[in-house]
Amino acid sequence: MAVGIFDSGLGGLTVLKAAQSRLPDVDFLYYADSARAPYGVRDAEDIYQLTKSAVQDMWSKGCDLVILACNTASAAALRRMQEEGLPAGKRVLGVFVPLIEAMTERQWGDNSPPREVAVKHVALFATPATVSSRAFQRELAFRAIGVDVEAQACGGIVDAIEDGDMILAEALVRSHVEALKRKMPEPQAAILGCTHYPLLESCFQDALGAGVKVFSQGDLVAESLADYLQRHPHMQGSGAGGYYTTGNPGRVSDRATQFLRRKISFQAA
């Protein structure tokens, strides 16, 4: 039995690592659409069609529950997939909501009306597609009022990480943080709205300063998933776990091994 974790590339491995640590008895099927990554520069329709196709493939491999561990896919495809209807017994969840629940100090799954929260000024760092979708702001508005969000589209970071060029990625982080602080000089919290970005969390923190609380998604999504599976134990699926990619399995395996610092072997999707 396996829970599916989907990303356009390798960023979702940060969610997978946290989920495996939190839920050691659960098998996971990780699916990377590496041949078409990154999604963050694509238009919304393209992202939707690619995400839908990948999720359907994961369902065919026995996953009943798929986590979109890709903020761009969560922003551009999740709500539409849910509104258009899912097959019986299948669920798709995103990564924005657990992060927002943590930032607004809600219990997992708390859908009570929006209310005042302590954090008033939030910096959002995400891909251009995620920023343009305003999905984060929409989900936040369901849970909190009076919060000012300043979004920074962080072009180039995902490509640098996927290429293994961490020096360039760190330089881009510093540049994007400087650009955001010109618009919002004193954010109280910062959202790393891409699952690649936790690999650079310390760089974001250093650039923002110690007084800014940085929220990244791995551990938060893992805790939320643990709570969900406790309430819905039948959603663990029927297929076996594993690692799949639409890209070159050898190259993706090498990059994934560098990401997680343990041997990872992908097979062709």
The answer to whether 70 is a known catalytic residue is: yes
Name the active-site residue from 63, 70, 154, 203. Answer: 70
CA distance 67 to 6: 6
The answer to whether 63 is a known catalytic residue is: no
Rounded to the nearest 5 degrees, what angle is found at the Cα of 175, between the Cα atoms of 145 and 169? 105
CA distance 220 to 222: 5
Rounded to the nearest 5 degrees, what angle is found at the Cα of 9, between the Cα atoms of 6 and 12? 50
Name the active-site residue from 63, 154, 194, 203. Answer: 194
CA distance 17 to 160: 21
Reduced to 3 DSSP states, what percent helix, strand and coil does the chain have, rounded to the nearest 5?
50, 20, 35
Q: Which residues, including other chains, have CB under 8 Å from residue 215's CB and lie 6 or more apart? A: 99, 102, 103, 189, 190, 191, 192
Q: What six digits make up the tokens of 143? A: 């849970």
Which amino acid, residue 47?
I
Active site members: 70, 194
